[in-house]
Amino acid sequence: MINVFTDRHGLPAVSIKNDLAAALISLQGGHVMEYVPHGEEPILWMSSQSYFEQGKPIRGGIPICWPWFGAHPDNPDMPAHGFARLCLWSVAGGKELEDGSSEVLLRLDKCEVPEKFPAMAFALQLRVTVGRQLSVALEIANTSGMTFYFSGALHTYFNISDIANISVEGLDGSRYVSALEPEGVQQGAITFSREFDRVYLGTDATCYIVDTGFKRKIKIAKKGSLSTVVWNPWIEKSQRMPDFGDEEYHRMVCIETANAKEDQRHILPGESHILETIISKESL
């Protein structure tokens, strides 16, 4: 069942419930906020301090970072991670699929705060498929007469039992860059003992969050991406973020399906690019 309603924050939202899972999407930012396979711990994490206001990013779930990842390359006045997550999206369609999953289409054709952002002729569509797995596919169409360049990410926050109980597999041997440390090559699985913020490059690998506390693996496959961002803010950065509880870093990790850094993309007039993350749960 797919239901469009106004949520308790006064924002338009879409709830999805079927025999396999439940999900919740805010039209603020085209933002998948919740995904819960029946009988499972939630797969996505949401801060208890998140803003839920039009024009502000939601802290958790799957923020859409577009048309730039991180700080704007030229203009420090521009918001981090682009404007797609700040705008109000619209529902373009929804249907139940034969395998028991549900599909919702959202669209963003222009940003609601155009005076601040460069005129870009684009059409964004987000295809969200909820069932045994969660697929989120951002389709970027160039409706202008010129080639345009962009970077971005599906900046997914995952719900974990505790940062001490997890490791991340799939990036062994991948080169990374980071604002926190010199660039390097990943040795083995990733574990966490401090602020961690790496962009792995040249990788189309599927990643796994191995969580011994929840006795599960979360599988993160992807398409249209050769960069993966792994982030945990740890305590000092958590304390600096007003929409992030000081101790909440224990319960989350970001594994982001990206087109970041050297993996920025360009789209010729009339063409499009799809960035897709496919998330599922496996037993340990």
Residues annotated as catalytic are 155, 256
Beta bridge partners of 4: 14
Smallest separation, CB 78 to ligand TA6 (Å): 12
Binding mask 134-173 for ligand TA6 (x = CB under 6 A): ---------------------x------------------
Nearer to ligand TA6, 50 or 142 (CB): 50
Residue 224 interacts with ligand TA6 (CB under 6 A): yes or no: no
Smallest separation, CB 95 to ligand TA6 (Å): 31
Amino acid at 58: I
- Reference 65, options 90, 89, 30; nearest CA is 30
Kindly tell me which residue out of 66, 231, 263, 276 binds ligand TA6, with binding defined by CB under 6 A. 231
Positive or negative, the CA dihedral 134, 235, 244, 262 is negative
- Reference 58, options 98, 88, 94, 38; nearest CA is 88
Nearer to ligand TA6, 37 or 63 (CB): 63
Amino acid at 269: P
Binding mask 18-47 for ligand TA6 (x = CB under 6 A): ------------------------------
Smallest separation, CB 71 to ligand TA6 (Å): 9
Helices (H), the chain: 234-240
Dig out the tokens for 198 from the structure: 């790496």
- Residues from 235 through 264 that contact ligand TA6 (CB under 6 A): 254, 256
Whole-number Å distance between alpha carbons of 224 and 61 = 20
Smallest separation, CB 116 to ligand TA6 (Å): 16
Smallest separation, CB 244 to ligand TA6 (Å): 8
Nearer to ligand TA6, 155 or 222 (CB): 155
Kindly tell me which residue out of 57, 82, 131, 170 binds ligand TA6, with binding defined by CB under 6 A. 57
Whole-number Å distance between alpha carbons of 105 and 124 = 10
Nearer to ligand TA6, 57 or 61 (CB): 57
Whole-number Å distance between alpha carbons of 89 and 27 = 5
Nearer to ligand TA6, 131 or 152 (CB): 152
- Residues from 193 through 212 that contact ligand TA6 (CB under 6 A): 197
E strand spans, 78-132? 90-96, 102-108, 122-130
* Residues in binding contact with ligand TA6, number by CB under 6 A: 10
Whole-number Å distance between alpha carbons of 111 and 46 = 25
Asked if 34 and 27 touch (Cβ cutoff 8 Å), the reply is no
Nearer to ligand TA6, 63 or 131 (CB): 63
Kindly tell me which residue out of 24, 126, 128, 229 binds ligand TA6, with binding defined by CB under 6 A. 229
Asked if 249 and 159 touch (Cβ cutoff 8 Å), the reply is no
From residue 122, give the alpha-carbon distance in Å to each of 71, 119, 250. 21, 9, 38
- Residues from 58 through 117 that contact ligand TA6 (CB under 6 A): 70, 80-81
Residue 174, C-beta contacts closer than 8 angstroms, at least 6 positions apart: 185, 186, 200, 201, 202, 203, 205, 228
The residue ranges that bind ligand TA6 (CB under 6 A) are: 57, 70, 80-81, 155, 197, 229, 231, 254, 256
